[in-house]
């Protein structure tokens, strides 16, 4: 049976990549922009490297139990600085360690998304 319409090469490549397991997937994922023939050749090279001991055969990756969950949910603790950030900036500025970076004004032609009449609350402060 033939798929109607025939799959595009990119679709064939993505279907093939999605069937792979470790260590192939980790080595092949960056090859998705190559042609299907190049990917097959790269797969053969990886297989030969595994047989030759140049690449360690991988174990299946652990699937996260829930998306978005962190293994270490503790927030990092930073040592507080003994001054405000304004004071710190001023002392660094006075010591010529930092300097302000001034942006050039946007000149025409403006991008389509630009609205010179737009006002936002954070600009009001």
- Express each pLDDT in 21-79 by its tens digit: 666 666 666 665 567 677 777 777 777 777 877 767 665 445 444 455 556 678 888 88
**In a 3-state reduction of DSSP, which class is residue 43?**
helix
Supply the pLDDT for residue 90. 92
Cα separation, 3 vs 15, in Å, equals 13
pTM of the full structure:
0.29
Cα separation, 31 vs 120, in Å, equals 44
Percent of the chain with pLDDT over 90: 8
**Residue scoring higher pLDDT (3 or 9):** 9
Supply the pLDDT for residue 60. 47
Tell me which residue of 30, 45, 35 sits closest to 11, measured CA to CA.
35
- Give the ranges where the chain is alpha helix by DSSP (H): 9-18, 24-28, 36-51, 85-94, 121-124
- Count of all residues that appear for the chain in the document: 125
Residue 9 has pLDDT above 90, yes or no: no
Count of CB atoms situated within 10 Å of the CB of 9:
13
**Residue scoring higher pLDDT (25 or 110):** 110
């Amino acid at each position: 049976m033939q798929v109607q319409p025939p799959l595009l090469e990119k679709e064939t490549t993505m279907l093939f990549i999605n069937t792979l397991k470790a260590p192939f997937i980790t080595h092949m994922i960056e090859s998705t922009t190559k042609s299907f023939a190049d990917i097959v050749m790269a797969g053969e090279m990886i297989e030969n490297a595994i047989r030759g001991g140049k690449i360690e055969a991988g174990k299946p990756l652990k699937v996260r139990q829930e998306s978005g969950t962190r293994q270490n949910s503790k927030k990092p603790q930073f040592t507080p600085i003994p001054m405000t950030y304004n004071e710190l900036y001023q002392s660094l500025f006075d010591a010529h360690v930092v300097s302000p970076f001034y942006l050039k004004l946007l000149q025409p032609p403006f991008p389509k998304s630009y609205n010179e009449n737009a006002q936002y609350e954070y600009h009001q402060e």
